[in-house]
Structure 1
Amino acid sequence: MDELLPRIPFAEWIDFAVNWLVTTFGTVFDGIADLLEGIVEGSVDVLDMVPSILLAVLFSLLAWFISTRKIALFSLFGLLFIDYLGYWYSMLQMLALVLTSVFFAISIGIPIGIWGSQKANVRKSIVPVLDLMQTMPAFVYLLPAIFFFNIGVVPGVVASVIFAMPPTIRLTMLGIQQVPEELIEATQAFGSTTWQRLSKVQIPLAKPTIMAGVNQSIMLSLSMVVIASMVGAPGLGADVYRAVTQLKTGVGFEAGLSVVIIAIMLDRITQHAGKNKKGGTTL
């Protein structure tokens, strides 16, 4: 078979492209790395300035305002339990990584989703790329990130952004496309512009679906941040990775349980964020 069909050197082409990008745009990548590292480390420093008990109370109050009393109580006791186990600073590092990754994933993903919902040609071009992004093994994202940004915090953030972005794009497009056609025709009859139609009708009605995409992006970012500990990303993922390599079952369980608490807390809060709720009065 090899004699009939010569092997196409895809791997060599990809390596050449990566090396060319690193050589040509090295200064740009260094600037991006400095920016992301500054954001993550600055966020950790700011959060660490607040006493752990006070920060746990503030997080629980935020959870109560956005979601329910049960979730607020879970957030409070869960964060205090993490502090009790001694993983508070690692939790802050992971939280900063996740929030930074999700911020950039949403900032890029929602506009692309809105663009794709309005242009059929754009949507047809985006969908295969999203399929590739979601089916590519997570570890593969770490390889170019290491080449472009070395090891540490930054490749973890970059890989998490790429890995977590597809749900936000997909569900933004889906939510806007699901707005009833009668409403779209009514806005056109009143002479609304495309931006007025989006901002006043389509995006508000699509908000629950968009927030579902944000929720999925947060969950994917959490999983990727743990994987990124293999390339030097700090946080609870690093504690889990060290426990695995050193066969410390108890430590791994404690760190993994801390990750689960943060995941449940963020998942439940963002599930309620897309709903119309004026305060934390329900159970």
Structure 2
Amino acid sequence: MGEDIRIGRWVEQLVTYMLDHFQPALDAVAAAIDGFGGAIDFVLAGAPAWVLIAVLTGAALWRVGFGFGAFTLGACLLILSMGLWEATASTLGLVLASTLLSLIVGLPLGVWMARSRVVEGTVKATLDFMQTMPAFVYLIPAVMFFGLGRVPGILATVIFAMPPAVRLTALGIQQVPAEIVEAGRAFGCTDRQLLLKVQLPNALPSIMAGVNQTMMMALSMIVIASMIGAGGLGNVVLQGIQRLDIALGFESGLAVVLLAIILDRITQSFGRAAAQARPGRFAVLRRIFPTPAR
């Protein structure tokens, strides 16, 4: 038998090289992410509980309906009564920061992937790697690069949660009917007009499904990221495990479930609305290039 191939050792050497030569760049990235996540956390944690409860309940009433609005109000009051509101607000901040960063990177990457076969082949392989690698593995380089705390938690979550946004954005654009694209080109659409006013409006239901899945995956990863000090409800869950405290573990787990249901239903409603409001096959082109009056 030949000598074993030590891929792990090569990766370790790469990480060490990056730590030795790119520390200023890593510090800049950490500062930017910490500032972004800290600003969201400051707003949510600093707001009185009743304000955030009113916002969530109002969003549920507006987007879903009276029944789900009542459920959201009851769920928020239950979390508040269990003494977990601060941790829930912190978790919501981490989820929003991670989701927004995932979308900032993932949506343009999905568009690029839909428009280039070379990029599609490369990115698909990378996304497969990101989705199948055990989530705990992301925590190791995150801690080595950025230490403990909010920054490595957000970065590990972004890596874990971004693939659905990329895949479903690309899929939505690729599934726009070819006759619409050809009609757009025949009408004289530039590439920019074709993307912004034809392809993206028709792909919006798929894109919103990607947003929903990214947010749900971010919420699931935030609990794991508590192991490296990300904070929020994940820390409470971890405390329950460490102490074998069934009551604490159940209450914190229930708070995570209730928050997930609220966020899932609200974000799903945007996808349904986008599907119902999707313009007819050539309606967008008629708006861009109106037929001159006779």
* Structure 1 letter corresponding to 2:73: L
**Map of 2:166 onto structure 1:** 169
Quick one: which of 2, 6, 16 aligns to 2:3? 6
Counterparts of residues 188-227 of structure 1 (less than 5 Å): 188-227=185-224
Q: Kindly provide the amino acid, as one letter, of the partner of residue 185 in structure 1.
A: E
- 1:120-173, Cα deviation, whole Å (9 max, x unpaired): 111111111111110000000111100000011111100000000000100011
Residue 116 of structure 2 is aligned to residue 133 of structure 1: no
Q: Does 1:259 align with 2:256?
A: yes
Which residue identity does 1:253 align to in structure 2?
A: F
Q: CA deviation at 1:72?
A: 2.2
2:67 counterpart of 1:91 = no
The superposition leaves residues 42-69 of structure 1 with CA deviations (integer Å, 9 ceiling, x where unpaired) of 3222223322122201221123223333
Alpha-carbon shift at residue 271 of structure 1 (Å): 0.5
Match of 1:280 in 2: none
Gapped regions of structure 2 (runs ≥ 5):
275-294
Please give the alpha-carbon distance, in whole angstroms, between the structure 1 residues aligned to 2:228 and 2:198: 44
**Number of residue pairs matched?**
274
TM-score (norm 2): 0.90
Q: What is the CA–CA distance in structure 2 between the aligned matches of 1:100 and 1:237, rounded to whole Å?
A: 16
1:29 aligns with 2:26: yes
Distance in structure 2 (CA, Å) of the matches to 1:262 and 1:80: 12
State the 1:210 CA deviation: 0.6
CA distance in structure 2 between the aligned counterparts of 1:115 and 1:99, rounded to whole angstroms: 24
| Most deviating of 7-16 and 160-169 | 7-16
Kept in 2: contact 1:71–1:269 (CA 8 A): no
Q: Is the 8 Å Cα contact of residues 41 and 94 (structure 2) preserved in structure 1?
A: no
- Supply the distance in 2 between the matched residues of 1:269 and 1:85 (Cα, whole angstroms): 23
Matches for 1:35-50 after TM superposition, within 5 Å: 35-50=32-47
**1:240-259 map, 5 Å:** 240-259=237-256
Measured in 2, the distance between the counterparts of 1:71 and 1:29 equals 43
Residue 97 of structure 2 is matched in structure 1 by: 100
Deviation per residue, 1:187-238 (Å, 9 max, x gap): 0111111111111111111111111111111111111100011111100011
Partner-residue secondary structure (3-state), 1:191: coil
Q: Per chain length, whose mean CA-contact separation is higher, i.e. which structure has more relative contact order (CA < 8 Å, sep 6+)? A: 1
| Cα distance, 1:273 vs structure 2 | 1.1
* TM-score under structure 1 length normalisation: 0.93
| Residue 178 (str. 1) matches residue 175 (str. 2) | yes
Gap regions ≥5 residues in structure 1: 278-283
Aligned with 2:223: secondary structure? helix
Greater shift, 18-27 or 62-71, is seen at: 62-71
Q: 2:106 aligns with which of 96, 104, 109?
A: 109
Cα pair 2:149 2:229 within 8 Å, conserved = yes
CA distance in 1, matches of 2:234, 2:14: 31
CA contact (8 A) 2:45 2:90 kept: no
What is the Cα-based RMSD across aligned positions, in Å? 1.3
Deviations for 1:77-135, whole angstroms, at most 9, x for unmatched residues?
21121111100110111111110000000110010000111111111111111111100
Structure 1 equivalent of residue 54 of structure 2: 57
Identity score, percent: 44
Q: Which amino acid aligns with 2:29?
A: I
Which 4+ stretches in 1 moved above 3 angstroms?
A: none
Deviation of 1:38 after TM superposition, in Å, equals 2.5
